[in-house]
Amino acid sequence: MRVLLVEDHAKLAMTMATGLRRAGMAVDVVFDGQDALDHLALTAYDVVVLDRDIPVVHGDDVCKALAAQGSPSRVLMLTAAGTVHDRVEGLGIGADDYLSKPCDFTELVARIRALVRRPGTALPPTLTHGDLQLDPSHRIATRAGHPLPLNPKEFAILEVLLTRPGVVVSAEEILERVWDEAADPFSQSVRTTISRLRAKLGDPPLIETVAKAGYRITD
């Protein structure tokens, strides 16, 4: 899951980003509305966690711009103003969800995951392929009923592949969806992580390498 976090309070932004990464998300962080729009013009984000009161371009205007463009990115708006009027106003300008600050971090993670499951980008709560089951919300993976000790990147790659069964996903797309903009595009991160993932999944193998194309889940 690729998330853009827009928060002008640097310390809070870094704390939130660290927590979201530990929850298995690839997170890019920006501190003002114009930088957010620049990132959104270049990268497809699943969810934008958008502080409403940000400098340069206000959060309301960022939200309106995304709505006008028909952006597929879901917007979770954050604000210290938590009245009903504020929530109604935020939803009225195009936000998909609204959360008052300070917020419980577990609720923030749950809200982000719920947005990805909404129509248009809907995913089932549990991804299943044969005897393999993946529960993204609870970060649990099992095969034949046995838990799999996957690290966050291994879990995220498996989630990407399971959401597109039978489809070849390129290493470049996996790098974009699982890592963030700090990732080295020339690194061997995808290949080495998939190698570890295959070993943990066991036999019969589930991930096929398609020469010069990428990887896919096999039957």
Tokens standing for residue 193: 């992580």
For 144-195, how does the pLDDT look when each residue is reduced to its tens digit (9 = 90+)?
999 999 998 999 999 989 988 888 999 888 888 888 776 666 678 899 999 9
d(CA 64, CA 51): 14
pLDDT bracket for residue 142 (50, 70, 90): very high
- Measure Cα distances from 91 to 56, 66, 84, 114 in Å: 21, 13, 11, 16
Neighbours of 85 (CB within 10 A): 9
| pLDDT tens profile 82-111 | 566 666 665 677 788 888 888 899 999 999
Could you read off the pLDDT of 41-50 as tens digits, one per residue?
988 899 999 9
H or E stretch covering 11: helix 10-22
